[in-house]
Amino acid sequence: MSVKEVEDVDGHPCYRLVSEARSTRTVDAIYKVRDKVESWRDLEGGFSRKYSKHLREGKYKDDKVVNYFPEQGTAHLYRGNREVPDTMEVKGHIYDVLAAFYAVRQMPLEVGKSIYFDLHDINQRYDLEVKVLGRERVEVPAGTFDCFIVEPELKSAGLFRKEGELQVWITDDQYRMPVLMKSKLYFGRVWAKLVGYRRGGE
């Protein structure tokens, strides 16, 4: 996961957020994963301006890009290599999955409480609930961290699809780094551990 350079999207400066998932060589033989998800998050408002999915999970493939125009109340969805988009209605400022995740990192977290987002994932809109389950000290290759455990109720396609449940350990400090993820899928459990990080400006 990384925050790239600020880019212009339809005249609006945005943070470009990138999340990439690659299965290990051992897992490749069972269920090969090569996913790349990108979000262009409005610099001032934090909501989504553009969202892109390039998913390769086993035999499953999906390529979609959506541009959001909240001022006009519309979104343009491009599927695969199609040059002419589908036009969808959107109301107000909405979040894609990745933009919502970064928004959670900026919010005060309290065990036992939930955070809610108006989520729009390509062509599906739903109310996303992110539960704050507890606190725990965890050790990963990048170090030992005191963390909040959060659980988003995802309902859309991706590595952590609707069959599974996802929990994320986020550091209990000003950085709120994700250091551990666990997901239960139909074929078993998937773990992702932080092995290294570099903060902006370093």
Note whether residue 171 is domain-resident: yes
SS in 3 state form for the chain?
CEEEEEEEECCEEEEEEEEEEECCHHHHHHHCEEEEEEEEEECCCCCEEEEEEEEEECCEEEEEEEEEECCCCEEEEEECCCCCCEEEECCCCCECHHHHHHHHHCCCCCCCCEEEEEEEECCEEEEEEEEEEEEEEEEECCEEEEEEEEEECCCCCCCCCCCCEEEEEEECCCCCCEEEEEEEECCEEEEEECCCCCCCCC
> Looking at the 3D structure of the chain, how many domains does it have?
1
Asked whether residue 100 is assigned to any structural domain, the reply reads: yes
What is the share, in percent, of the chain residues with pLDDT greater than 70? 92
Q: Is residue 198 part of a domain?
A: no
Determine, yes or no, domain membership for 202. Answer: no
Domain holding 88, by residue range, is: 2-193
Instruction: Say yes or no to pLDDT of 162 above 50.
Output: no
- pLDDT one-digit tens code per residue, 116-144: 988 887 777 778 889 999 999 999 999 99
Q: Do residues 169 and 136 make contact, with C-beta atoms less than 8 angstroms apart?
A: yes
User: In this structure, is residue 159 part of a structural domain?
Assistant: yes
Q: 56-106: per-residue pLDDT in tens?
A: 988 888 899 999 999 999 999 998 888 788 898 888 888 998 999 899 998
Within a domain: 46:
yes
Confidence of residue 155 (pLDDT cuts 50, 70, 90): low
Q: Look at residue 200 and tell me if it is in a domain.
A: no
Question: What does the block give as tokens for 136?
Answer: 């725990």
Residue 18 lies in a domain: yes
